[in-house]
Structure 1
Amino acid sequence: MSNYFSVIFSSQLSQFEDQKYHEFSNQMLELVNEADGFLGVESYREKSGRGVTISYWTCMNSIKKWKDNSQHLFAQQYGKEIAYSKFTIKVCEVMREYSFDKKK
């Protein structure tokens, strides 16, 4: 596989039981699966509200288009104003990938 890109979104929720946040999260997951260049996503959240979401993309242009998607922009605004107390975003190029699976 040739190089691809990842976006690492680390966040801290202001309130873990924010129903509207969970609705936005589910909507964005459905929407991103239709985005050009989207390869996949992994997401983890602790009971403390700390979470990490890593999305994978074929190119930087696809990441930019997703960032500028109107529905995603609306969700981003909600996140900044209400859902998150802090977050960090890192965009990386994946140069190499390897794995281990004892079951195989």
Structure 2
Amino acid sequence: MTYQSYAAFMAKLSCGFISVIFVAQRTGLDADGYARAATIMNELAAQQVGYVGMDTVRGSDGLGITISYWTDETSASAWRDHPEHTAIRDAGRDRWYSDYSLHVAQVKRSYDWKKA
């Protein structure tokens, strides 16, 4: 999906969907292991009931923000509790992250804008 089609898709979602905002500082350890785990998690999340999409960015200093979007709280919670996700989260705490914060929000409004 291109960014344009993704942005248009996200803008058309009904209000009330759930955003899970994950802000994390990478340690820089085991970059290859992290990359493999991130790919697996992205693919697995996309297969879950209620998954809508994901946005992610990372700065050169290792600070990253990933936002996953879910149709409802039940779907977001099921992803949180998924056994493979739990195992990767534990590995992240052990070696890939020095700290992180997570915020769950209900979307009240969503729109996009594009320069003509």
TM-score, length-scaled by structure 2: 0.85
Counterpart in the other structure of 1:30: 43
Structure 1 equivalent of residue 61 of structure 2:
48
In 1, the alpha carbon distance for the partners of 2:80 and 2:111 equals 28
- Larger helix fraction of residues: 2
Equivalent of 1:2, from 7, 15, 40? Answer: 15
Query: Percent of aligned pairs with the same residue?
Result: 31
> Normalized against structure 1, the TM-score is what?
0.94
Give the aligned partner of residue 80 of structure 1. 93
Counterpart of 1:71 in structure 2 is: 84
CA-CA distance at 1:99 after TM superposition: 1.9
- 1:95 has 2:69 as partner: no
**Matched residue type, 2:61:** S
- Encode CA deviations 1:40-83: one digit per residue, 9 max, x unaligned: 00000011100000000001110111011111011000011110
Counterpart residue type for residue 6 of structure 1: S
- Give the deviation of 1:102 after TM superposition: 1.2
- In the alignment, residue 7 of structure 1 is paired with which amino acid? V
Query: Secondary structure at the residue paired with 2:86?
Result: helix
Amino acid at match of 1:38: Y
Name the structure with the higher strand share.
1
Q: CA deviation at 1:16?
A: 6.2
Does the Cα contact within 8 Å between 2:15 and 2:110 map onto a contact in 1? no
Q: 1:28 aligns to what SS in structure 2?
A: helix
Shift of 1:2: 3.4
Matched residues, number? 103
Q: Which residue of 2 aligns with 1:20?
A: 33
